[in-house]
Structure 1
Amino acid sequence: MKFAAYAAVGILSFLGPALAEPQGLDLEAVNGAEWTPKSDKGKEINPALIKAQVLLDRARFSPGVIDGHNGENLQNAIKIFEKTNELKPDGALDGEVWRKLAETSAEPVLTEYTITDEDVKGPFVKIPDKLEDQAKLDRLGYSNPEELLAEKFHMDVDLLKALNPDKPFDKAGTAIVVANIDAKADSGKPKEKVAKIEIVKSEKVLRAVAKDGAVMAVYPASIGSEEKPAPSGSHTVRAVAKNPNYTYNPDYAFKGVKAKEKFEIKPGPNNPVGSTWIDLSVESFGIHGTPEPEKVGKAYSQGCVRLTNWDVQELAQMVERGTPVEFIE
């Protein structure tokens, strides 16, 4: 069955720290990185922070985009990891948190990957800024191989480039360094179904909760705005749509959109609702992906719950029709 995603997705710009040229940033430096009291300081990409982000990603305490920076998403992931491990939940990466993270997985956090023909065959698409212009495209595919590869390994494009200086990302057979996210202990196994989803507005996170109340996974999320807040109370999952269309309703009255009639945008990872739509029992609201993963948890959405494409894809495997969804103020 094909679902059109009737989402209200507004994009507000977020300016992160300027990317400084990292020194000694390579596979060995990151895999051998150790925590120091200065690991979360400065604006440069930090090998220890890359390592912490990959380990959190594997343990399903998603830091969002792996970028080597000490941002709010990383701090929120650490805070919930601390609560789960009965540590002081302050969101700070310290020696105790570092030791607990190291216990979750012994596999190297970076690995080499050989670019395949599939990675570079495209077609790649220049995505227009205006929604009306996006509606003219046959598919909202990736813009270039770098974007595809970065999303494939949950990475920021800037980090991918910093780890692979002068490497041609558009050439099959090229060996590059990427985040070793597939080293998860349960990689490839069917995902256990969640008992409940909790969307915590104040913390900008979505929690997948097991029957016994344990947190199975946590994901950074953009959750509504003051102008168009997300719902409150308890709801349920109605359906899951992979590669959804996006239908713009003029009732949304997005700034800059002049259309007076509904129009549809074709599927693809750069679709306004990303690669997956989890429909909720609230008309026009859902949990969905995004074409801008670096803004998740930092920019507001227009009412819906926005995750990275890879996080919502994982969550979609863990829910079913009727799964309870609770919005917590």
Structure 2
Amino acid sequence: MRALTLTAFIIAATPALGLTQDDIDGAAFDGGALPDGQSGLTVKLQVLLDRAGVSPGIIDGYKGGMSESAIRGFEEREGLAVDGVLDADVWSALGGDSAGAVLMDYTVTEDDAANLTESIPDNVAEKAELDALGYTSVSEKLAERFHMDEDFLKALNPDVGFAVGDTITVADVGDRLEAQVARVEVRKSTQRAVTFDADGNQISNYPVAIGSDETPSPEGTVEVTAVAMDPTYSYRPDVNFEADGVKEALTLPPGANGPVGSVWIDLSEPTYGLHGTDTPAALFQNESHGCVRFTNWDVEELAYMVSAGVTVEFIE
């Protein structure tokens, strides 16, 4: 009896295995709702939405708010009934049955392992003392490159150390969009930023974090004034907000793990911008200090499609 009890305890205490490549490659839409929790079908859906220019945020295989909002954005663009639910029309419009593999092999390079930051302190003054606020591991860097949650990337490659020369499995998200954006709508109610060309055609659609009631995002229409890649960050507690009890002005170094991530798109409303984040999985949980926060990869894509004079309209 003791042995049986011990065996039962061991089985109960063993964590469930994560998704495998076979789980994802073999996933198919059968007409039902997306499974709760994590599933191969949701991975496929997220990758196909990403390829279609409607970002699901992080690719992690979990049914959740960011993926639902991306489905809504895709349905709106395609003229389908907008309900945020995967159905046959959405799957067909995404090319689901004929899309092919959504995963691919990638070999870690020396560049992937270069220029890492050993660790990121919590205190803003300590951050200002560093040379860079970059990625702290190869897995973090590659997770962002392939638009994936880092834990999901690791789970998909359980026996890999992410050393130079290792071959890993990653999401095949395709190439970065190339277009000329004329207008951006920041839709506060849905927490999405939608881009349009000069003829009013929708180009891309991204999940964002916006300001809170205490530190709201702008209202009305403003313009892009400049784009800075890999920007430093000016910490000005007398103008913006105070963090960690630090009262003096500081300049924080650039890096994907900095307060504004890898891109700053400056707006004509002083002190406001569109920028990246060091916590992409928390976009829909976090509120910004008034700016509009994207995943680093989404705002990097946007940065190459906008220029000074592009209008940014904030819609309630």
Both proteins in one fold, TM over 0.5 = yes
SS at match of 1:327: strand
- Give the structure 1 partner of residue 51 of structure 2: 58
**Of 93-102 and 233-242, the range deviating more from structure 2:** 93-102
Q: 1:188: Cα distance to partner?
A: 6.3
SS at match of 2:36: coil
Asked if the contact 2:224/2:265 (under 8 Å) is kept, the reply is: yes
CA offsets 1:191-215 (integer angstroms, 9 cap, x no match): 2211201000001000001222221
* 1:108 counterpart = 2:101: yes
Matches of residues 117-196 of structure 1 in structure 2 within 5 Å?
A: 117-169=110-162, 171-182=163-174, 187=175, 191-196=178-183
SS at match of 1:119: coil
Give 2:220's match in structure 1, choosing from 233, 237, 240.
Answer: 233
Give 2:16's match in structure 1, choosing from 12, 18, 21.
Answer: 21
CA offsets 1:43-86 (integer angstroms, 9 cap, x no match): 2x210000000011111100001010111111111001111222
Bigger Cα Rg = 2
Asked if the contact 1:39/1:48 (under 8 Å) is kept, the reply is: no
* 1:300 counterpart = 2:272: no
CA offsets 1:107-160 (integer angstroms, 9 cap, x no match): 421011111111123333200111111111011111111111111100001110
Q: 1:95: Cα distance to partner?
A: 2.5
Q: Against the structure 1 CA distance between its residues 21 and 156, is the aligned structure 2 distance closer, same or farther, given a 3 Å change threshold?
A: farther
Distance in 1 (alpha carbons) for counterparts of 2:142 and 2:302: 21
**Of 300-309 and 100-109, the range deviating more from structure 2:** 100-109
Unaligned runs of 5+ in 1: 1-19
Q: 1:174: Cα distance to partner?
A: 0.9
Q: 1:99: Cα distance to partner?
A: 1.8
Asked if the contact 2:32/2:87 (under 8 Å) is kept, the reply is: no
Q: Against the structure 1 CA distance between its residues 188 and 229, is the aligned structure 2 distance closer, same or farther, given a 3 Å change threshold?
A: closer
Identity %: 44
Q: Against the structure 1 CA distance between its residues 114 and 216, is the aligned structure 2 distance closer, same or farther, given a 3 Å change threshold?
A: same
The residue type paired with residue 42 of structure 1 is D
Q: Against the structure 1 CA distance between its residues 87 and 117, is the aligned structure 2 distance closer, same or farther, given a 3 Å change threshold?
A: same
CA offsets 1:280-317 (integer angstroms, 9 cap, x no match): 00100000001111112331101000000000000011
Q: Against the structure 1 CA distance between its residues 319 and 160, is the aligned structure 2 distance closer, same or farther, given a 3 Å change threshold?
A: same
- TM-score (ref. length: structure 2): 0.91
Matches of residues 246-325 of structure 1 in structure 2 within 5 Å?
A: 246-251=233-238, 252-254=240-242, 256-325=243-312
* 1:34 counterpart = 2:28: yes
- Give the structure 2 partner of residue 72 of structure 1: 65
Over the aligned positions, Cα root-mean-square deviation in angstroms equals 1.8
Distance in 1 (alpha carbons) for counterparts of 2:65 and 2:17: 21
SS at match of 1:250: coil
Unaligned runs of 5+ in 2: 1-14
* 1:223 counterpart = 2:210: yes
Distance in 2 (alpha carbons) for counterparts of 1:157 and 1:94: 29
CA offsets 1:188-241 (integer angstroms, 9 cap, x no match): 67x221120100000100000122222100000001111111000011000000
Distance in 2 (alpha carbons) for counterparts of 1:290 and 1:253: 17
Distance in 2 (alpha carbons) for counterparts of 1:30 and 1:277: 35
- TM-score (ref. length: structure 1): 0.87
SS at match of 1:80: helix
Runs ≥4 in structure 1, deviation > 6 angstroms? Answer: none
- Which structure's relative contact order is higher, taking Cα pairs within 8 Å and 6+ residues apart? 1
SS at match of 2:111: helix
Distance in 2 (alpha carbons) for counterparts of 1:89 and 1:151: 29
